[in-house]
Copies of this chain bind each other. A is one copy, B any other.
């Protein structure tokens, strides 16, 4: 590894901790609050998680707690997609463990959950850890998408942990991984394995949150990275004055990323999947909405603009969702007859004739290329692959058509030239912002304390995040508190409920109040690159979402 000047400088950074975690960790004690309750289906959750359901939230105060200094060996895994700050969770965990007892050990299982199952590991030492402090990426031990779900897997985890004398496992992951962490914690209790499980809330998507998990880590850095680029494109659009940039942003389920980026950059159009689903907006209406903004701006002589599109958009448009469902059913049922058809035209006609009227209309509305793509690119189960649809290009094509129609009708007299972008992978491994560097280091330090207190099935929880770091609070909540029952693979299962964009909450309502102005005016804000040094208001500011949620 050839170290960049910034990376070298970042090694010197001391992440800021909540005041309570700055002193001697051995002088702390957990305080239990009221019992917690799952977000829904409490009785069912209790059946699946009898030992960890209804447990109280805990917080740390000064005081003495028995056993905090007992020698421990802790395992840690990174699970799922990368998010900036993962290395700092591990740094905080390591430093926290060593502060509690210098003989404590930390073992990293490699390549995600599969490393825990197959016992692929590396012992994390100060020397090994040093070059990863305050850096992006999950490369310290790698990550993976294996799901810890079966009892066979759980038993293998026990065997691995026993062979290393591991007392506790820290799972750094998103909603799925933390759901599995809760189930694993229950299994370990049931089997009397003597192994605790603590989760840390990770995902750039920002959809793992409640009152105690104010934000998942990585959301801050990723949205700032995307907003840097969006701001740069806004400034480019406003300089060249001839392009509309259609920018798709990562985030398949929730539109938090698009919303946060909109709040940071004030683009002309931002689509929010949750609103489109709520309002049952049709694809044609989405196109109308964008085309109207283009036409209004053109009328003012501004033939340029910015459109933000959440990655998962099309799956939230009711008619497209229904179409996809029907297509999958149809291709499963009539696959043989369909496969005998010799050309595109025959195939498309066959499909159209077998769809419901609504879906046939939706199908006909799609551009030819997209129709072909839907029918050809199917996954191993024969299902159409919605994720392959390049939504940003689809919208450009449909808006171009709509504007051409309007031009004929005299309703549009401008020009429309559009470019498309997709920002996702670019933000997952950026150097964590000071916020994420501090937050993650705190989450890790705090996880060490939760383990030392003997807790299991808990998520590390750092709160009051819109205040300066020294005012942050440290504690934990049972994972079950975030759960409800959902249908998975044909069965009702306890899972963490995804926190989608709340159309009644302040971040969205602020956006909704301003978007009509932003659509017509050029009210762009240019955030620029993430700064790690310099004035605090530039370097330490959290996301707009967090500030608005917390009334700031």
Which A residues lie at the B interface, using CB under 8 A?
Answer: 1-10, 81-82, 111, 135-139, 142-143, 225, 228-229, 231-233, 235-236, 238-241, 243, 245, 264, 266, 419, 421, 425-431, 523-535, 537-539, 541
Q: Is the CB of B232 within 8 A of A525?
A: no
Contact A228 B5 (CB under 8 A): no
Q: A233-B425, A431-B526 are in contact. Are A6 and B239 (CB under 8 A)?
A: no
The 8 Å CB contact of A136, one of B225, B526, B530, B539, is B526
Task: Tell me whether A266 and B2 are in contact in the complex, defined as CB-CB below 8 angstroms, given that A232-B426, A239-B142 are known contacts.
Answer: yes
Beta-carbon contact of A529 and B431 below 8 Å: yes
Check A239/B82 contact, CB under 8 A, given A5-B537, A232-B430: yes
Complex contacts, A9 vs chain B, CB 8 Å? 534-535, 537-538
CA separation between A241 and B425, bound complex, in Å? 13
A-B contact pairs, 24 of them (CB 8 A): A1-B525, A4-B525, A4-B528, A5-B538, A6-B528, A82-B240, A136-B232, A137-B235, A137-B236, A138-B239, A138-B240, A143-B240, A228-B430, A233-B425, A233-B426, A235-B429, A236-B425, A421-B425, A430-B528, A430-B529, A431-B526, A531-B532, A533-B533, A533-B539
Contact yes or no, A4 B231, CB < 8 A: yes
> Which residue of the partner chain B has the closest CB to A12?
B535
Q: A229-B426, A236-B82, A426-B232 are in contact. Are A530 and B529 (CB under 8 A)?
A: yes
> Across the interface, which residues of B come within 8 angstroms of A421, CB to CB?
425-426
Give A526 to B232 CA distance when docked, in angstroms: 21
A238's partner among B139, B235, B240, B533 (CB-CB below 8 A) is B139
Chain B residues within 8 Å of A537, by CB: 5, 8-9
CB-CB < 8 A to A428: which residues of B? 232, 236
Looking across the interface, which residue of chain B has its beta carbon closest to that of A524?
B1
User: Do B235 and A526 have beta carbons less than 8 Å apart?
Assistant: no
Shortest Cβ distance from residue A307 to the other chain B in the assembled complex, whole angstroms: 14
Chain B residues, CB < 8 A from A81: 240
- Chain B residues with CB under 8 Å of A231's CB are 4
Q: What's the minimum C-beta distance from A114 to chain B, rounded to whole angstroms? A: 12
Query: Which residue on B lies nearest to A429, using beta carbons?
Result: B235
Shortest beta-carbon distance from A442 to chain B in Å: 22
Q: How far is the CA of A4 from the CA of B266 in the complex (A)?
A: 11
Q: How far is the CB of A202 from chain B (nearest CB, A)?
A: 13
Residues A228 and B142 in contact in the complex (CB < 8 Å), given A239-B137, A523-B2, A535-B9: no
A6 and B529 alpha carbons, distance in the complex (Å): 8
Closest residue on chain B to residue A135 by CB atoms: B526
> Chain B residues with Cβ under 8 A from A2's Cβ?
266, 523-525
Contacts of A264 in B (CB 8 A): 4
Other A-B contacts than A1-B525, A243-B425, 5 sampled, CB-CB below 8 A, are: A4-B231, A6-B529, A9-B534, A82-B236, A232-B426
Contact present for A427 and B538 (CB under 8 Å)? no
Per CB-CB distance, the 10 closest pairs between chain A and chain B, nearest first, are: A533-B534, A529-B529, A235-B429, A137-B235, A6-B528, A138-B239, A533-B533, A236-B429, A2-B525, A431-B528
Contact of A5 among B111, B243, B524, B535 (CB under 8 A): B535
> Closest CB of chain B to A234's CB: distance in Å?
8
Q: Which residues of B contact A425 (CB under 8 A)?
A: 232-233, 236, 243, 245, 419, 421
Shortest CB distance A135–B (Å): 7
CB distance from A98 to the nearest CB of B (A): 25
Q: Which residues of B have CB within 8 Å of A236?
A: 82, 137, 425, 428-429
Q: Which residues of B contact A526 (CB under 8 A)?
A: 4, 6-7, 135-137, 431
- Residues in B with CB closer than 8 Å to A239 are 82, 137-139, 142-143, 429
How far, in angstroms, from A274 to B245 measured CA to CA in the complex? 31
Contacts of A243 in B (CB 8 A): 425
Query: Once the chains are docked, how many angstroms separate the CA of A309 from the CA of B430?
Result: 22
A229: chain B residues within 8 A (beta carbon)? 229, 426
Cross-chain contact A541 with B427 (CB below 8 angstroms): no
